[in-house]
Amino acid sequence: MLFKFAVRGDNITPERAYDFIEGNKGSYEAWFEFSEEWKNRVKVCVVEQGKKIYSIPITDGQCFLPEMERGTARIGVIGTLTSKDDEASTISTNMKTIGVLDGAANKEANSQLNTAAQVWEKYLSDMENNRVKAEVAAGTAADAAKNATTAADEAGESAEESRNNAEITENSKVAAIKAAEDAENAKTSADSAMRVAEVAASAALEAKEKLETAKRNAEEFSAKAWEFSREAFSAAAEAKNSADNAATSESNAKASEEATAESEANTAELTSRAETAAENAEKSEVNSSASEKTASQALADLLAMINSGDLILATEGKLPLSAIPATATQEIYTVTSEDELTSLVAQRGDLAELIEEVDGEQTITKTWQCLGDASVRENWVVWGTSYAVQAGNATTANNALNANMINNHRIVEMTEEEFQAAVKDENTYYLVY
């Protein structure tokens, strides 16, 4: 899986919003596109999550990201360039925050990937070591070639100077011969340096080939790790299905057990009902026998009454008055006003009660009794004592609307403070509020 980043100067930007998943190791490959100022620099990808900080070398603009846990992480790049004067120039980007979501991988699945992951990490380490060795060998070869060139130049200058001196004096001939020998030696040294440079270049090429081989091996092991991961996920899914099936079986067993218990309870209930039905049948048989005896006795009594002449028979479907007992029922009706009396379906002796709310309670304030035709108002008379009489109102205050005296006592209204300060009169009723 590829994740692309654009690096422009000291700013890093993902190609789009990525969601990383925890548990992925050796499967996330980051590709970086660098601007011109990053050319020829040694580049390192830095991943920070919590207290963990990973530094991953970037080769050909690519590197593999480490395994990350759920939460957030930050990613950035550092580039270093060393000049001929051994002065280092460094570019550091900002740290870009990325999100890491829940992953399906678990400890059991991860344990199957440990071996492949360790091999992959070893190959990455070998890649880095070979790269460093190649850079050192290339540097050594370059230094040797430079020294050989300098020595050859110096030898040429010495030979030229010796030849000039030989023309001036014979004594300089020996020096010229020596200079020629030095020049030859310098040339030999230069040849040796060139051979060393060629060996170093060959070593560098071999290191590069090993590096590419290590990279291919890492990719192969990464693919195998991914295959192992898929197999682990499949195993985990099968384990989960087995667990679900076991839970379903357990649930079915429990349901079967409950059904068995319920069936036993129903059987017990049906047995009880059958016993009850048998008892009822037995009682019905007894009651039937008793009813038969009662019916026989009633028939015998009826025949005896007919024979004795005590039985009064109806004439034209009507009983004579002498056969009807002189009794009547008394009904009690409720009305909300006196005007409802004549609308009642009542007979002589029935009562009508007027119910009103007094001091927050339903109270019978007046009762009438019907003495004849209920539709005639005069046939309804007051029955008993009215509520006003029961309440014991003063006879002198029957018409006390807006009165200022009750039973020869004055009525005075005042506040609590006025009442406390007033001179009291025993013939006065005080209303204090």
Helix (H, G, I), strand (E, B) or coil at 362: strand
- Domain check: are 121 and 253 in the same one? yes
For residue range 202-258, list pLDDT tens digits in order.
766 776 777 777 677 767 766 766 676 677 667 667 767 877 877 787 777 787 788
Output the domain CATH number for residue 175: 1.10.287
- Percentage of residues in the chain having pLDDT higher than 90: 28
Within a 10 A sphere around the Cβ of 183, how many other Cβ atoms?
Answer: 20
Strand partners, 55: 46
What integer pLDDT is reported at residue 172 of this predicted model? Answer: 57
For residue range 264-313, list pLDDT tens digits in order.
887 788 788 878 877 877 776 777 677 777 777 877 777 776 666 655 66
Which among 351, 331, 329 is positioned nearest to 341, based on CA atoms? Answer: 351
Residue 283 located in a structural domain: no
Q: Number of structural domains, the chain? A: 4
- Domain check: are 158 and 138 in the same one? yes
Cα–Cα dist 132/229, whole Å: 33
Within a 10 A sphere around the Cβ of 122, how many other Cβ atoms?
Answer: 14
Query: Quick one: tokens of 421?
Result: 């300060």
- Domain check: are 176 and 217 in the same one? yes
Is the separation of the CB atoms in 108 and 23 below 8 Å?
no
Which domain range does residue 211 map to?
106-260
More confident residue, 269 or 370: 370
Within a 10 A sphere around the Cβ of 343, how many other Cβ atoms?
Answer: 11
pLDDT at 73 exceeding the cut of 90: yes
Query: Quick one: tokens of 286?
Result: 């007894």
Q: Where is average pLDDT lowest: 99-108, 166-175, 215-224?
A: 166-175
- Domain check: are 218 and 124 in the same one? yes
Q: Classify residue 337 by its DSSP letter.
A: S
State the pTM of this model: 0.29
Residue 374 located in a structural domain: yes
Instruction: Give the neighbor-by-neighbor strand order of the sheet with 380-382.
Output: 332-335, 351-358, 361-370, 380-382
- Domain check: are 110 and 225 in the same one? yes
What integer pLDDT is reported at residue 201 of this predicted model? Answer: 67
Of 260, 282, 302, which closes a domain?
260
- Domain check: are 208 and 243 in the same one? yes
Q: Using pLDDT thresholds of 50, 70 and 90, give the confidence band for residue 400.
A: low
Output the domain CATH number for residue 59: 2.60.40
Cα–Cα dist 296/308, whole Å: 18
- Domain check: are 182 and 197 in the same one? yes
- Domain check: are 36 and 146 in the same one? no
What values do phi and psi take at 26, rounded to 5? 80, 10
Distances (CA, A) of 293 to 104, 206, 279, 287, 297: 88, 128, 21, 10, 6
What integer pLDDT is reported at residue 261 of this predicted model? Answer: 80
Instruction: State mean pLDDT over 162-185.
Output: 67
- Domain check: are 255 and 128 in the same one? yes
What integer pLDDT is reported at residue 327 of this predicted model? Answer: 60
CA-based angle 339:343:345, to the nearest 5? 140
DSSP string for 23-78 = T--S--EEEEEE-GGGTT-EEEEEEEETTEEEEEE-BTTEEEPPP--SEEEEEEEE
Which amino acid is located at 396 in the chain? T
What integer pLDDT is reported at residue 394 of this predicted model? Answer: 46
- In whole numbers, what is the pLDDT of the chain averaged over residues? 78
For residue range 409-429, list pLDDT tens digits in order.
788 888 988 888 888 888 888
Of 68, 103, 138, which closes a domain?
103
